[in-house]
Chain A
Amino acid sequence: GAVVSQHPSWVICKSGTSVKIECRSLDFQATTMFWYRQFPKQSLMLMATSNEGSKATYEQGVEKDKFLINHASLTLSTLTVTSAHPEDSSFYICSARDSGRVLGQPQHFGDGTRLSIL
């Protein structure tokens, strides 16, 4: 089955640090990937749609300068949390859509990254 690898799975860092999270589609190409944020006991909230070779599309209320997204290849999207602060602590999940399949197919999710800012 389609596999999405997300790395790192857990990161703890000091306030003010920038943190990069990678999302890779291992056995399919993904022109579109999605980044979600999930607070404890809450649902997934879409942050942005990552488009290969072009700028990401951010959801309303998401700071694009805070959450930098780069999708430079058909198999890799990165989310960089810049100058992270404790309020950025959360669980971040990526998903990818298989470009080779018809619309309406399920997205494939990474295992998530737990980000803790001290």
Chain B
Amino acid sequence: AQTVTQSQPEMSVQEAETVTLSCTYDTSENNYYLFWYKQPPSRQMILVIRQEAYKQQNATENRFSVNFQKAAKSFSLKISDSQLGDTAMYFCAFMTGAAGNKLTFGGGTRVLVKP
């Protein structure tokens, strides 16, 4: 079974600064997909970024980028130029076709952006 671990329950960052969220996972699969989701106080699940395991290039979406280290099974998220609207819970998630495309979520990291 796959597991996803987010070791930082809570992080705070000053507006305009950079924050990095860690995520590690455990799997015996070689082909899989990794995601970061944002859940603001409204509790909507918003996709932040997606990474395919067979791609070595790290995914980037505007101010959000990942550091994907396949051998280390690590998938960290960097938020640059943090904005007040980035305040939310962030969940790392893992998906593989072998598991029926189910998403396995990490425990989440609460990010607070301070003005």
Contact = CB atoms under 8 A, between A and B. Distances in A.
Count class of interface residues, chain A: 20 to 34
A106 B50 contact: yes
Contacts, number: 49
A104 B100 contact: no
Contact of A104 (B42, B47, B52, B110): B52
A103 B102 CA distance: 11
Count class of interface residues, chain B: 20 to 34
Interface in A11-62: 32, 34, 38, 41-46, 49, 57
A67 interface: no
A103 B31 CA distance: 11
A43 B102 contact: no
Interface string B90-115: 01000101001111111110100000
Majority secondary structure of chain A interface residues (helix, strand, loop or mixed): strand
B91 A44 contact: yes
Given A91-B43, A109-B45, A111-B44, A42 B107 contact: yes
A95 to B, nearest CB: 7
A43 B106 contact: yes
B35 interface: yes
Interface string B16-28: 0000000000000
B102 A104 contact: no
Contacts of B50: 106
B43 A34 contact: no
B43 A111 contact: yes
Given A104-B52, A104-B95, A44 B105 contact: yes
Contact of A57 (B42, B100, B103, B107): B100
Interface of A: 32, 34, 38, 41-46, 49, 57, 91, 93, 95, 97, 103-104, 106-107, 109, 111-112
